[in-house]
Amino acid sequence: MKKFFQEFKSFAIKGNLIDIAVGVIIGAAFNNVVNVLVKKIIMPPLSLLTDGVNLHEKKYILRLATSTSDEVAIGYGELVEVLIDFVIVAFTIFIVVKGFNRFKTKAQDPKNKNVETPREIALLSSMEKLLQEQNELLKKK
């Protein structure tokens, strides 16, 4: 049990826990944006194209409401809206991850000339070349 808590402490101290918390918070905020996008931007024109059908209210009624019981229905319209939300979120995450991976591979590619060498490293490289030339001249003498 002690090992378990040590692993958790190591995990939390490394910053992974904070990264996860930030991701969850940003994800929740992004979910709100997508909900508004779907409900207020995408669904109204879709409703207009389908002669005013409001998908949110679409349902398959299994049993009508009576004075003693509530209506029993399957709300498939809400499912359609949630699926649209999911597709938008999944596509956005795909684009973001694809972009990060592209930048990551570019940064790791040693042949990539678009990545500028830091000034200090360039200076050290030129100093190394000069020292090698000096050593060769001294060996010839």
Task: Identify the domain containing residue 128 by its residue range.
Answer: 2-140
Question: How does pLDDT run across 49-79, given as a tens digit for each residue?
Answer: 877 777 778 888 888 888 888 989 998 888 8
Percent of the chain with pLDDT over 90: 3
Confidence class for position 110, pLDDT limits 50, 70, 90: low
Question: Three-state DSSP class for 118?
Answer: coil
* pTM recorded for the entire structure: 0.51
Q: How far is CA 139 from CA 125, 126, 127, 130, 131, in A?
A: 21, 20, 18, 14, 12
Q: Find the CATH number of the domain harbouring 33.
A: 1.10.1200.120
Nearest to 89 by CA among 130, 2, 30, 8: 30
pLDDT > 70? residue 109: no
Question: How does pLDDT run across 35-57, given as a tens digit for each residue?
Answer: 888 888 887 887 788 777 777 78
Question: For residue 11, which amino acid is it?
Answer: F
Confidence class for position 16, pLDDT limits 50, 70, 90: low
Distance CA 118, CA 15 (A): 28
What domain count does the chain have?
A: 1
Question: For residue 98, which amino acid is it?
Answer: K
